[in-house]
A and B are shown apart, each in its own frame.
Chain A
Amino acid sequence: MRKTTVRLGGGSACAEDWIDPAVELAEKGELDYLCFDSLSESELSVVALRRIQDPTAVGYDQFLDDRMRRVLPGAVRNGVKIIGNMGSGDPVGAARRTLEIAAELGITGLKVAAAVGDRVLDDITDWDLVTAEEGLPVNDFGDRLISAHAYVPCDSVVDALAQGADIVLTGRIGDAAMFLAPLVHEFGWAADDWDHRALGIVVGHLMECGGQLTGGYFSDPPYKVVPDMHRLGFPIAEVGADGSVVFSKVEGSGGLLTPATCKEQMIYETTDPHNYLYPDVVIDFSEVGFEQVGPDRVRMTGQVRGRPAPDQLKVALGVREGYYSEATVWYGGAGAHARAVDAVDMVRRRFEHLGLRPLRLRIDLLGVGGMYGDGPLTPAAREALWEVGLRVAVHTRTAEEAVVVVREGTNRLANNGPAGVSAQQRGDSTREIVGYHHTFIPRERVSTVHVVLQEEMA
């Protein structure tokens, strides 16, 4: 007997997101499915680099243990299925680890599926691809290319759910496709039911950033005021078989859910609303609207249209490109700006004096023009500034160069630069840059499957 309504929960916007709102959803959200987005655009590159530097490091999301430990009890008790891309670079390992955690918690009988096939690094050089933004040949990257993952559609997750999986962990997948999959599974939408698939992706896009629908990334007092941000309730979507969609959150939770919060999230990270490309479908959401139908309760209005899925799948690439480092020191009190300007002049001459030539260098005066370039402050206003930061950020070929440039530009000001400088913060922010590129491959070159793991029967 098919459901007439499916209740989805948005459990996280990223790997390091809060876990307490997801626990609240599992306990009180009366959900059918709780979906977690744990992968940023570059996360899989970070994982690849980590495993190069330490082959014993796990390839799945480092927050999986904490998240599963805290969410599983409530989810299992309330019959809530879990879908998440926290499988990251090792979905099978993630599934295995989840079963171990379940066993430690005394939870038995779980079916955990791993969806694999998004990793395409091994044969990506077979096809003479070029990067989409700059047209660079992918084959020219050589062994600097350390990560290549296709954004795959919902199919392998749907298959896993059809096989009875309670939890499905994936690698790179269209983020919103994690929310489409349970809708396809429960409502039986056909593979070419493009309008429904488009609706499911739109729901997923609104839900995939957790608190960003419910008052997070929103307040701008006095124009926009959000109560109790410290305990935001993450979002719930009620999707009807008739295509109705209503958003809500757990009663009594903090935050705000209004047409305004929904509009901001709808447009977030999109370009042309008539041609929103997803691995599953091409969406036209240009006519979408939102209507308040109760306190923190919003109904989606307007027609969402879908067109056949693209022939090509987007592939995210990670390329080693050198090193990054930065530091900031502060000048305060009378004459802060004058001393900071004096320091910048000294730092530039020092770099020249030593023959330092980073690939890219940036020196900011924070509080003056560090965020957008020269701001509206008059010269008199600048001279009156109470605090000015001097920030140096650099891109170099080697880690050693990055450390030297930042030390010369900030730390050495303590003894040898203008008066009254704060110490450089402790710790070193030098890290390797794995630059993001993307390309496209024909979808038939990517095949995804799911692997079901179950606990060993004693």
Chain B
Amino acid sequence: MSTTLREIAHSRAGDKGDTSNLSLIPYDPDDAELLRRVVTEERVLAHFAPLGTTAVRRYELPNMPAFNFVLEHTLDGGNTRSLRVDGFGKSLSAYLLSMEIPDEPTGSEPRH
């Protein structure tokens, strides 16, 4: 049975122009290593292909720990022009957390 990111991390979506930024924050700091390994720029780019994302950059904040993914050309021209239901892309955090990750022992239980 596969796990989704939602079970081990949380995220918030922000927007600047046509760029979306998505934080990815493990509930358990010990899961940062797993996230670093499996949530790569390439996997996020592939996951967001339906949204038209052209490039993904990943930044790390080690003392939290947390990651910040910056996705270009992801908001249909930005909230002033977007035809989408969610022009600001605030629901894209949930889409990121829907990503499945390979089944491996994490030692973590779903957070409540």
Q: Give how many A-B residue pairs fall within 8 Å (CB-CB).
A: 134
Q: List residues of chain B with CB within 8 A of the CB of A288.
A: 61, 63-64
Q: Which of B1-55 contact A (CB under 8 A)?
A: 6-7, 10-12, 14-19, 21, 23, 25, 27, 50-51
Q: Mark A366-409, 1 if CB is under 8 A from B, else 0.
A: 10001111100000000000000001011100000000000000
Q: A393 contacts which of B14, B84, B92, B94 (Cβ < 8 Å)?
A: B84
- Given A223-B112, A371-B86, A373-B51, A273 and B14 contact (CB-CB distance below 8 Å): no
- Chain B interface residue count, Cβ-Cβ cutoff 8 angstroms: 44
Q: List residues of chain A with CB within 8 A of the CB of B64.
A: 259, 263, 266, 288-290
Judging by beta carbons under 8 Å apart, are A133 and B15 in contact? no
Q: List residues of chain A with CB within 8 A of the CB of B94.
A: 220
Closest to B9 in A: A223
Judging by beta carbons under 8 Å apart, are A42 and B59 in contact? no
Q: Mark A353-365, 1 if CB is under 8 A from B, else 0.
A: 0000000111010
A146 in the interface, Cβ–Cβ < 8 Å?
Answer: no
Interface residues on A, range: 35 or more
Judging by beta carbons under 8 Å apart, are B19 and A271 in contact? yes
- In angstroms, Cα B11 to Cα A263, docked, is 9
Q: Which of A267-307 contact B (CB under 8 A)?
A: 267-274, 285-290, 301-302
A114 in the interface, Cβ–Cβ < 8 Å?
Answer: no
Closest to B49 in A: A373
- In angstroms, Cα B15 to Cα A270, docked, is 9
Judging by beta carbons under 8 Å apart, are A264 and B21 in contact? no
How far, in Å, is A418 (CB) from chain B's closest CB? Answer: 22
Closest to A275 in B: B59
Q: A220-B10, A290-B64, A435-B78 are in contact. List 18 more A-B contacts (CB 8 A).
A: A42-B80, A133-B18, A217-B12, A223-B7, A263-B64, A266-B64, A267-B23, A267-B25, A269-B21, A271-B19, A271-B59, A287-B61, A302-B63, A364-B85, A371-B84, A372-B92, A435-B81, A436-B80
A sample of 30 inter-chain contacts (CB < 8 A) reads: A41-B16, A45-B80, A220-B10, A220-B94, A223-B6, A223-B10, A224-B111, A264-B25, A266-B61, A268-B12, A268-B23, A269-B15, A270-B14, A271-B21, A273-B61, A285-B61, A286-B59, A287-B63, A288-B64, A290-B64, A326-B83, A372-B91, A372-B95, A391-B85, A393-B84, A435-B77, A435-B81, A436-B78, A436-B80, A438-B17
Interface residues of B (CB under 8 A from A): 6-7, 10-12, 14-19, 21, 23, 25, 27, 50-51, 57, 59-64, 66, 68, 70, 77-81, 83-86, 90-92, 94-95, 110-112
